Amino acid sequence: MELRQYAAYGFLGGVVGAVAVVLCSFVLHYSGIGPRLGADSAVTLASPDIYKPLFWGGLWGIPFGMMMRRLGEGLYLYGFIYFLAPVAALFLIFAPLQGMGFFALNKGASFTLYLVLVNMPFGIVTAAAAKWVSAERRYETRLSAAHQT
């Protein structure tokens, strides 16, 4: 497979991973954990607010997808650890730009914990979705090759 195919698998996996983050936001909010940790509300599902996490999830999925072919057996472990890359960008770039300070500590250490918890599903779900899409594609290729002979 070509590198661009893996990038596409990663993008799609990243979008699915971002959906998992949005769902995790709802679960944490409505279970009462989010408000206790300083989160005011869950992610808004209204347009255009919902597009931002999906877009960024897809972009963060591209480098993951490009590394997929080299990972082999360690794909899910790498996916679990991979969520730290977007979280590091959140803590070191995006939170300070929004006035929350580094690691969002202006809102308190509990809010920092909330941000880690809400983003934790991203990597593993991205890995699972990207692997599923790439495996499905390989199955279709094998199936069409078998019918041609």
CB–CB of 60/85 below 8 Å?
yes
Digit-coded pLDDT (tens) for 59-96: 999 999 988 878 877 888 999 999 999 999 999 999 99
Rounded CA-CA distance 97/53 in Å is 17
Q: How confident is the model at residue 46 (pLDDT cuts 50, 70, 90)?
A: confident
Rounded CA-CA distance 39/115 in Å is 9
CB–CB of 90/54 below 8 Å?
no
User: Does pLDDT of 143 surpass 70?
Assistant: no
Find out whether the peptide bond into 63 is cis, omega within 30 degrees of 0.
no
Query: Amino acid identity, residue 91?
Result: F
Task: Give how far Cα 1 sits from Cα of 12, 26, 29, 64, 78, Å.
Answer: 16, 37, 41, 15, 20
Structure tokens of 53? Answer: 């996490």
- Residue ranges of domains in the chain: 3-148
Rounded CA-CA distance 65/112 in Å is 27
Structure tokens of 104? Answer: 């969002």
- pLDDT on residue 146: 59
Whole-number CA gyration radius for the chain: 17
